[in-house]
Structure 1
Amino acid sequence: MDLNLLEGQAVIQAATTAAPLLGFIILIYSGIINFRPDITDIETRIQDVPSIYTLNETYDFIIIGGGSAGSVLANRLSEYPFWTVLLIEAGPDELPLSDVPILFTSLQKGPLDWKFQTQPGGKYFCGAMHGHQCNWPRGKVLGGCSVLNAMLYVRGNRDDYDNWERLGNEGWSYDDVLPYFKKSEDVRIDTEFIDEKYHGKGGYQTVEHFRYRSTLSDRFLQAANEVGHEIRDINGEQQTGFMISQGTLRNGLRCSTAKSFLRPIKNRKNLHVTLNSMVEKILIDESTKQAYGVLLNKFGITREIFVSREVILSAGSVQSPQLLMLSGIGPPQHLQSVGIKPIVSSLGVGKNLQDHVAIGGLTFIINKNISYPTILEVLNTESVDSFIRDHRGPAYWMAPCEAMGFLHTKFSDPTVDKPDIQLFFGAFGDNSDGGLFIKRMEGYRDDVYKAMFEPIFDKKTFTIIPLLMRPQSTGEILLYNKNPNSHPLIYPNYFASERDLEILVEGAKEALKIVLNTNIMQELNVELNPNPIPGCPTDDTRSDLYLRCLARKYTMTIYHPSGTVKMGPDNDEMAVLTPRLSVRGVNNLRVVDASIMPKVVTGNTNAPTIMIAEKASDMIKEDWGFGGDFNLDDEKNFDDFVGMARLEKIVKKIKSNLDYW
């Protein structure tokens, strides 16, 4: 095709794409505001404490970070009416548009995103991205990453948790954590699709199938089955296999942890939530090594807020280690290098960074004329009307991952249920949105889009994304400086282990087999996009050589950073936390989020993070003398609790008087 003609078509495409996208968003937002009170949900939204001066001087518990873990903790700890809890979130409340599944990619790189980026990967990773840096979206909003993510509900593998226990973390085996997965869950999926005894009913977090999907997802599952893969509930007894994606949804809409765990308890008087509030550091007594509060900044005004029981850090795998280091907890040499006085030496803070790296750009062209809508074709008034009036239609679509699977490559034992690759099936290609959302979200350069996707801009496509499950490569988080507003330095070290790259390439080859070597997919006359990524061998885009190069160029993260404040036994000098998630060397300080994982789980990390917070809540209650299921509706339990609370107040009063004299 003539280059000038191609460029002209690209300009027309951009113009004709932007208008319907913008119009769709405006129309659907207007429809939500006027006709969807279930989404605006004004009556149950969390009320922000408007001024830093109206906060209490002291709380029993201060939770830093209102994300996937922090929201759960705030709910469970405030169940006891005599415990005062402060939840601190750096961002605002979630927006009505964040509920709409099809718009999830538009939320990233916006005001609800911290907009982190990795350090440049050079020739090793992120080579197709601007500055060789991959985007790392993190939620800066109440609900955290559960507001920005793809809403996929995946628990991980039984052996993930059994291995945590083998590493010296007593109480974290699969049998120990399964009750907490079930406790948090309210599954709303037909029983024919799930393994019932592994799911919960009546919990705060609703789990559903996405309300809209294309016909291609069923075809993809049939193709996987054709080459020998089982179709099963991967959140059930066994993980290896394929399924239609399960999501953290309620009535087809995104169900963040803010919606699921915080809105139902908005009237609890003992829970305060302060939004748009940054913790600049955790206050630690240098002589006693006890955390006694936080330095809080809200709208440029700073104030010390004190704690009588614990500070709980739930800022995520990037910012939990950052805040520990800003507070003087971490590797001493690194802290001193940025001008911070070390208070507690903890060598593992920021280390052990793990992520599920993936290959992007495996786009397949459908050459048969079938009834299969592209994203642009559904951005119309009919879809808006269906969404607003009938609560149906493509607005409920999670196109990037309609189905998923876990499989073995030649590097893992197929007789053991420990798959080493996850596949996402996406009913779209990077060409499908005209380069407005996917290109922006991933951050790759214009020349990459121009070479790979502009030549097929008018084609119907789909994508398969292979993800590496158990990376051997680990990275680290370092401070840029001692300014809490500066982004930390993120070194993911993707493919530092050559074995990681080899496993991922084998995963890509399994994806090619499912698509190109099955009768059910070849009925559509499917072919791999023949346009190679710039800088890679061009003779065979199915070769190992090309796929290795593609992985280093179109490096994707599915946003699962973990392990940077890991738990472990006393004899592990890199273990920042005890198995009860207390920070070693500091009293009254815990960390509760995905950073505590000694090894990243096999699959998406949102559901495991919710589980971690559920389990941590019980640990905290036990450590403060309220273990087990303590039901305040029971008259005896209530009387016992009141008696203990009164005794504690008396002790506090005596201590206060002694301190005064």
Structure 2
Amino acid sequence: MQSASQISMNQLLPLVLLLILGGSRADVNRLLLDQLNQVGLVNLLELATRPNVPRDLANYDFVVVGAGAAGCALAARLSENPQWTVALLEAGGVENIAHLTPVLAGYLQQTSSNWGYKSVPQKLSCLGMNNQECALPRGKVLGGTSSINYMIYNRGNRRDFDGWSAAGNPGWSYDEILPYFLRSENAQLQGLENSPYHNHSGPLSVEYVRFRSQLVDAFVEASVESGLPRTDYNGESQFGVSYVQATTLNGRRHSAYSAYIKPVRDLRSNLHIFTYARVTRILIDDATKSAYGVEFHYKNKPYTFKARKEVILSAGAFNSPQLLILSGIGPEDNLKAIGVPIVKELPVGRRLYDHMCHFGPTFVTNTTGQTTFTSRVTPTEVLSYLLAGNPATRLSSIGGVEALAFLKTPRSSLPKDWPDIELIMVAGSLASDEGTGLKLGANFKEEIYDRMYRELAQARQDHFTLLVMQFHPESVGRLWLRDRNSLGWPKIDPKYFAAEEDVEYLLDGIKASLRIMEMPAMQKIGARLLQRPTPGCEGHKFASDDYWRCSIRTLSYTLHHQVGTCRMGPESDPTAVVNHQLKVHGMRRLRVVDTSIIPVPPTAHTNAAAFMIGEKASDMIRSEWS
């Protein structure tokens, strides 16, 4: 008789092979992911927690809402004290083999592991998206967005954190937060073994992606030829170019759940993890302004958990502000409009920042077999990856991302060591999955794929894309609630490119990428700009400044970096929601611990910062309650 794990393996291999061998058929790919999610592969990967069934009115010392990077780190650290009981509530389920396979990152946004948020229709951006709605992926799974993102590990710039401290947030300078980045990290980075900027004993694996194409080698060499130094962008200086550092372990995604919760979940009876638990409201004593529990839904039934010490929101940049507003903490106008009694007036959701990038430019090359096409992955590679654990196959590619370059632009007024632009080198494009993954997850119009990328996919033409991302946008958006339905979605208006200057920074970044293409290393592989005008921009001369401005507003693409909706700052700051200890202003026993507290967009991909925030918050909480 077969064991459960053998059955899972027998189910798994035909499904994965189906994807590889039938990669050009969208229906086959969608079927694969649906089946992977249904199968779950519980025993094969030992990922699923033994499901905890909630007990109504149960008491815990700490109730943590949201199991993303910050929430998992926080729950794991607090539960190190055996005298404290910790409940970790997550609205989604558990990871499976699709989450752990980095090359499938582009597909995960179509699954139930993504909340599926979209912006309100934009007038100045996302013109290439259906209904001009920007897709805003956020993780709804144990691990949060760290389980569906592209696994890029980029902490930020020293000046980011020194700026937080100078703005009235003591304890958040670079020298004070670096130990928390280090505490979370288990770096396996060849050549950086003795770097003081990396640690080798933390729970979160960070490594260079082992699979590399010839395209990335040419890009790194050309970047150096253009004047960029080789750098460790998580080290002394960000400025320069580097192969990407990723949150992977031996070529598998290493999410917050895998790093922090899975190793301890069966060893700590004081840590209770609840999946599919949708929190709907914070319970607050109006007289004392103290949080004392939460209400949530589990299997369509309401439950209440009570917190003896604190309620901690780690639900992310959209869900944490939503829960505050539903609980009576937020802007007066929004609370009155939806009929929620005011507990504390605060500017929750009034500020929303994000990193917007341009999906391109794309370059074709004279190479063969280097671009990451899903349908190019061979059965041999699948078996080598799944059975032999080979970390250097194409399946280990983090959605095609292979290198990062950090640049200054001529218009910048920031110090030399503070980059304005990041170039993200991707060994592919929307053509890589033949329109079955990223196009759908990012909400791109069919016309964009048909006119720009379909021919590349059909010909399997080698090519790569440089995503151009701006680090310090001036545009500020907002989040609010349309009604008091606790199971509804917040309204999100990022207002991308409301500040015209943001477009100009991206234009400078595109020009910088074109200069890199002129370098000898790029000429050796025949790199040249894809001659496919962006739909809607045909009225401008191809590759002119106005053409690129049009393309920037059309091929707008976000990278999951929303911050600021529960902004950190002193009580004197009219834009602040939490103080430097992450306590909600004017409230007791209520904190927000996630990237929503980040005051301004950092020079970073925010996943690394989320781990740091969880680690630092755990020390602040332990210090207070010990």
TM beyond 0.5: yes
Q: Secondary structure at the match of 1:370?
A: coil
Matched residue, 2:153: 153
In structure 2, relative to structure 1, the CA distance for the partners of 1:185 and 1:303 (3 Å cut) is: same
Matched residue, 1:490: 492
Matched residue, 1:18: 25
What amino acid does structure 1 have at the position aligned with 2:171? G
Q: Are positions 1:224 and 2:223 aligned together?
A: yes
1:107-122, aligned counterparts within 5 Å? 107-122=108-123
In structure 2, relative to structure 1, the CA distance for the partners of 1:436 and 1:398 (3 Å cut) is: same
Structure 1 residue 96: deviation in Å? Answer: 2.2
1:21-420, aligned counterparts within 5 Å? 22=29, 40-42=44-46, 45-49=48-52, 51-53=53-55, 57-122=58-123, 124-190=124-190, 192-193=191-192, 196-266=195-265, 267-346=267-346, 348-366=347-365, 368-392=366-390, 393-412=393-412, 416-420=416-420
- 1:86 and 1:274 in contact (8 A); partners too: yes
- 2:36 and 2:96 in contact (8 A); partners too: no
Structure 1 unmatched ranges of 5 or more? 1-13, 627-661
- 1:52 and 1:301 in contact (8 A); partners too: no
In structure 2, relative to structure 1, the CA distance for the partners of 1:538 and 1:386 (3 Å cut) is: farther
In structure 2, relative to structure 1, the CA distance for the partners of 1:485 and 1:27 (3 Å cut) is: closer
What amino acid does structure 2 have at the position aligned with 1:549? C
Q: Are positions 1:446 and 2:449 aligned together?
A: no
Matched residue, 1:476: 478
Matched residue, 1:10: none
What amino acid does structure 1 have at the position aligned with 2:530? N
Counterparts of 2:29 and 2:536, CA distance in 1: 34
Counterparts of 2:623 and 2:416, CA distance in 1: 36
Q: Secondary structure at the match of 1:533?
A: coil
Structure 1 residue 193: deviation in Å? Answer: 4.8
Counterparts of 2:300 and 2:387, CA distance in 1: 43
Structure 2 unmatched ranges of 5 or more? 1-20
How many positions carry a matched residue from both structures? 600
Please report the TM-score for the alignment, with normalisation by the length of structure 1: 0.87
Structure 1 residue 399: deviation in Å? Answer: 4.3
- 1:213 and 1:398 in contact (8 A); partners too: no
Counterparts of 1:345 and 1:197, CA distance in 2: 44
Counterparts of 1:98 and 1:581, CA distance in 2: 31
Counterparts of 2:428 and 2:614, CA distance in 1: 34
Range moving further from structure 2, 285-294 or 393-402:
393-402
What amino acid does structure 1 have at the position aligned with 2:142? L
What amino acid does structure 1 have at the position aligned with 2:388? D
CA-to-partner distance for each residue in 1:580-611, whole Å, 9 max, x for gaps?
A: 00001111000000000111210200011100
Structure 1 residue 530: deviation in Å? Answer: 1.1
In structure 2, relative to structure 1, the CA distance for the partners of 1:21 and 1:154 (3 Å cut) is: farther
CA-to-partner distance for each residue in 1:498-528, whole Å, 9 max, x for gaps?
A: 111111110111111112x111111222221
- 1:113 and 1:140 in contact (8 A); partners too: yes
Matched residue, 1:461: 463
- 2:540 and 2:546 in contact (8 A); partners too: no
In structure 2, relative to structure 1, the CA distance for the partners of 1:178 and 1:150 (3 Å cut) is: same
- 1:24 and 1:384 in contact (8 A); partners too: no
Matched residue, 1:571: 572
Counterparts of 1:224 and 1:58, CA distance in 2: 56
RMSD of the TM alignment (CA)? 2.3
Q: Secondary structure at the match of 1:165?
A: helix
- 2:106 and 2:399 in contact (8 A); partners too: no
- 2:57 and 2:304 in contact (8 A); partners too: no
Matched residue, 1:641: none
Counterparts of 1:263 and 1:409, CA distance in 2: 43
Counterparts of 1:203 and 1:432, CA distance in 2: 34
Aligned mate of 1:507, from 506, 509, 523: 509
Counterparts of 2:428 and 2:436, CA distance in 1: 13
Matched residue, 2:13: none
Matched residue, 2:558: 557
Counterparts of 2:467 and 2:233, CA distance in 1: 17
Counterparts of 2:387 and 2:283, CA distance in 1: 52
Range moving further from structure 2, 357-366 or 447-456:
447-456
What percentage of residue pairs aligned between the two structures are identical? 37
Q: Secondary structure at the match of 2:575?
A: coil
In structure 2, relative to structure 1, the CA distance for the partners of 1:213 and 1:590 (3 Å cut) is: same
Counterparts of 1:566 and 1:522, CA distance in 2: 46
